Chains A and B, each alone.
Chain A
Amino acid sequence: MNERRRRLALVAIGLVALVFGPFATYQLTRTAERSPALLLADLAVGWSMIAAGLIIADRRPGNRIAPFAILTGFAWFVGDFTSSDVAVVSYLATVVHGWFDPLFALVILAYPAGRITRRPDRALAIGFVAVQAGWTVIQAYGLRPIAWWDCPTCISTVDRWIAAYDAMDPLGRIETLLLTGLSIGLLVVVAARWVSASGAARSRQTPVLVAGLVLAGGFIATFVWQTVLPTSAREPLGELRVIVLAVLRVFVAIALMIGVLRDDAAKGRIADLVVRLDGLPPLPVLQASLRDALGDPSLEVYRWEAASASFLDAAGRRATPPVDGAARAVLTIGHADAPELVIAHDPTLRDDPGLVSAAAAAVRLAVENERLQAEVRAQLDAVTASRARIVEAQDDERRRIERDLHDGAQQRLVSLQLSLQMLRRDLGPDADPAAVAELEAASAEAAAAIADIRELARGVHPAILTESGLGAALGSLADRSPLPVVVADDLDRRLPATVEATAYFVAAEALTNAIKHSGASRIDLRTWLADDQLHLDVRDDGRGGADATDGTGLTGIQDRVAALGGTIRVESLDGQGTRLEVALPCASL
């Protein structure tokens, strides 16, 4: 049935109850004078049961308490038709209306999940239904001799029924006795449930405890009324009995409804739990959160510790989790054979499998989250390490290229230039001036080529960095700068080659930017070691307003710094110069 049709059906049932209820209550006035209080109480009991059933049906579509509650309400109203002056109606109503109490008992037994699973509960349910079914047959038969068909509207038949009733009175007492016994049994079951539950689970069981008391109390009262009281005392007390029981039944109907719908609040707590379990918290926190969410202060959490090959409880002690059974309900998280977590909780929470499985799902999510986070962390570590390796490899490659340039082309050019110089001297003062000029031009060209290659090699990787360290390399940068650069080098030791190279390239880039864009008159370059980090500070007194993200060549440098796990910060306010601060960890490399 789709949602809309289901809702329509519920509305239709509600409308029927709205009309049927007063009509039924009206029947009570047909054969006797009734007080308004009694009539009102009668209406309230039927309506409250039907309303509770409809609301449960609407909010908990799968819960079987709903149809039983609705039927209970209608059975209540049917009872009013025993007072009908239409003989056939009165007859049918008399036979059927007794189902109110057994149906009510089924509602109590099925509370709150809508299932009757435990053996004593089932036995009681079967008992109620069997006794009521038997009594229905007996009544149907016992009242049969009344020839209602002779006089369908004849009121006098009522007197004859009363006579027939009296004839059945001993059987009726037995039926009442049996139902009283069953309801006392139900009261015991419900009380046991209440006693064994704890916290929120217990408060959830309270409505059924009251309901059980009402049901059992009602039967005991009826039994006393029927068997102990003299007939003369029955009638006035009868009305009071009906009103008191009716009021209690209304309260019970409302309480039952609230009880069934309570897991709305529980769902809220589970949602809180999901939020709180962002990542798997330490065991004591997890245990407290679960106790809170499930309202079970006896709940315990155990975690498998691979190192000691044992379970640890929330206090960190080795412990053996209980086995799932009557005493404790146990659920496991992780592989069935090798659970990571074991949660032991109050077995009464089994009545609410949705709540427990939602909590378990939240924990599973947290465990899975933690696993994923660990995975991501490991991947991130691997990526970070590989990034640093790439930078190192790049530096190695640059160093190799610089060495190749130095050992190859440059050596040849140097030899060439020396040869040209010797040739020039060999020519002597009498040589052909054109040849001398040609030779000098060639020599100058070779010198220029040597200078070019030297510049190129320095750009690829400054040999001075490898040979003499960062301080010397920064000094050489400063020497070649067209602006005054003051270097304060407080390094007393050599650092890993990648760190030195990165600091050097950052400084070179910062100097280039300052020279090109800042209009500075002076640049300060400072290096020092602190907390196993190399700090580099480049300041100029230029116009500021530099944007580190905007094509300044710093982007590549930032990647390089980040690859080594370092940080870079650019501060460049308008008119206040530019300051670049870099910190590079040295220990990890």
Chain B
Amino acid sequence: MGPSPVTRPTILVIDDHGGFRATARRLLERDGWSVVGEAADGRSGLAAAAALAPDVVLLDIGLPDVDGFTVAERLAASPDAPSIVLISSRDAETYRERVRSSPAAGFLAKHELDGTALRSLIGTASP
């Protein structure tokens, strides 16, 4: 049952809310993603991304140390940069311009998160 581990895209969730990370993990795993790691702030997120080289990074904008846009810049600058999807519990409008000018593939409001939405967002950008 389910896609083989080889074909499952890997994803790293960076968000400071443990509750959301847990929910997101269950939701994404169910939708055929392989959540290879979680991080609670920007710095450990960057370290995890370097170590795990995920296909996609689900990145919260409001992190306690560095903000999501900065983390996105750094991730994008690394070799074999992952696709980045910014998330926030605020609506898209709040960050529209900044999302547009960031290297992220797109933005998802947290309550709209599901595997399909994610896949369609990164569609063309995904490896």
Contacts and interface: CB of A to CB of B under 8 A. Distances in A.
Given A407-B62, A414-B20, 7 more contacts: A411-B17, A418-B24, A418-B110, A418-B113, A421-B114, A468-B95, A468-B96
A215 B44 CA distance: 113
A418 B62 contact: no
Interface residues of B, number: 23
A422 B111 contact: no
Given A415-B17, A418-B24, A447-B111, A454 B93 contact: no
A90 interface: no
A153 interface: no
Contacts of A421: 27, 114
Interface string B12-30: 0000010110111011001
B93 A415 contact: no
Interface in B30-81: 30, 62
B19 A411 contact: yes
B98 A468 contact: yes
A422 B19 contact: no
A414 B89 contact: yes
Contacts of A472: 96-97
A190 B94 CA distance: 93
Interface string A459-488: 000111001100010001001000000000
Contacts of B97: 468, 472
Contact of A406 (B27, B90, B98, B114): B90
Given A406-B62, A418-B23, A463 B90 contact: yes
A468 B20 contact: no
6 contacts: A411-B19, A421-B27, A422-B23, A422-B30, A467-B94, A468-B97
Contacts of B110: 411, 414, 418
A410 interface: yes
Contacts of B96: 468, 472
A105 B127 CA distance: 124
Nearest to B16: A407
Contacts of B30: 422, 425
Interface string B99-126: 0000000000011011000000000000
B111 A418 contact: yes
B94 to A, nearest CB: 4
B98 A417 contact: no
A551 B77 CA distance: 55
A422 B97 CA distance: 31
B89 A479 contact: no
A412 interface: yes
A413 B110 CA distance: 10
A202 B30 CA distance: 112
B112 to A, nearest CB: 9
B10 to A, nearest CB: 20
A236 B74 CA distance: 130
A406 B17 CA distance: 11
A464 B94 contact: yes
Judged by DSSP, the binding face of B is helix
Given A419-B23, A468-B97, A411 B89 contact: yes
A494 to B, nearest CB: 13
Judged by DSSP, the binding face of A is helix
Interface of B: 17, 19-20, 22-24, 26-27, 30, 62, 89-91, 93-98, 110-111, 113-114
Contact of A479 (B24, B27, B93): B93
A464 B93 contact: yes
A450 interface: yes
**Shortest Cβ-Cβ A-B pairs, 6 listed:** A414-B110, A464-B94, A415-B23, A415-B19, A414-B111, A418-B23
A415 B20 contact: yes
Interface in A383-433: 406-407, 410-415, 417-419, 421-422, 425
Contacts of A476: 93-94
A368 to B, nearest CB: 57
A410 B97 CA distance: 23
Contacts of A415: 17, 19-20, 22-23
Max chain B C-beta neighbours (<10 A), residue from A418, A422, A454, A472: A418
A454 B94 CA distance: 11
A576 B23 CA distance: 56
A367 to B, nearest CB: 58
Contacts of B24: 418
Nearest to B30: A422
Interface string A44-82: 000000000000000000000000000000000000000
A421 B95 CA distance: 25
Contacts of A422: 23, 26-27, 30
B111 A450 contact: yes
B28 to A, nearest CB: 10
Contacts of B23: 415, 418-419, 422
A418 B95 contact: no
Contact of A454 (B27, B91, B95, B114): B91
B90 A454 contact: yes
Contacts of B95: 464, 467-468
A421 B115 CA distance: 12
B20 A411 contact: yes
Contacts of A417: 111
A448 B112 CA distance: 13
Max chain B C-beta neighbours (<10 A), residue from A419, A450, A467: A467
Contacts of B17: 407, 411, 415
A244 to B, nearest CB: 107
B107 to A, nearest CB: 12
Contacts of A418: 20, 23-24, 27, 110-111, 113
A407 B27 CA distance: 21
A476 B17 CA distance: 27
Contacts of B98: 467-468
Interface string A437-469: 000000000010010001001000011100110
Nearest to A479: B93
Contacts of A463: 90, 94
A468 B111 contact: no
A412 B22 CA distance: 12
B127 to A, nearest CB: 26
Contacts of B27: 418, 421-422
